Amino acid sequence: MSYKIVAAALAAVCAPLACHAADPAAVARGKYLVTIASCHDCHTPGYFLGKPDMARYLGGSDVGFELPGLGVFVGPNLTPDKETGLGNWTDAQVVAAIQTGARPDGRTLAPIMPYHAFANLTPQDAQAIVAFLRSLPPVSSKVPGPFGPTQTPTTFVMKLVPPGAK
């Protein structure tokens, strides 16, 4: 086998890994931002039930939020899992979701997601969050929903009740 074939094969195997190799300082900054923003609250199973499953950290919640008139929304999987998480999203698509609420499929994230506040992140901070999320081990975890206002949720639900409502 010639060295050119070996080099080409090695490049093909290593190229996908290199594209996700991030600056350790950016990953650390992203971890800090994700932690202070409490992303784990809505995106880690068991968190709202008092027993966060840290083996599935940011792997998607098991509790949905009911927003009156809008339905029930469950915090999705933020790990780089290609089937159930952000693994097939580009960095730009993750940043757009964080800062504008726009998903790649055209839907807008539920208003419980504080993307209006995250719109104020610097580009470097938004990219640091992406770098951190990409550094996580993939967790295979498909969350249920979203459920429209007339649909029956299949998960535990936290209901947000406006003042004066019963």
- Residue 131 in tokens: 């770098």
Higher pLDDT, 6 or 30: 30
The domain in which residue 42 lies consists of 21-159
Dist. CA 126–CA 26, nearest whole Å: 10
Q: Do the domain assignments include residue 102?
A: yes
Strand order in the sheet with 71-74: 71-74, 63-67, 156-159
Q: Is residue 6 part of a domain?
A: no
Name the 3-class secondary structure at 34: helix
Query: Model-level pTM greater than 0.95?
Result: no
Give which of 93, 85, 29, 18 is closest to 58, Cα–Cα: 85
Residue 87 counted as domain residue: yes
pLDDT tens digits for range 22-43: 899 999 999 999 999 999 999 9
Q: Per residue in 109-134, pLDDT tens? A: 998 899 999 999 999 999 999 999 99
Residue 1 falls inside a structural domain: no
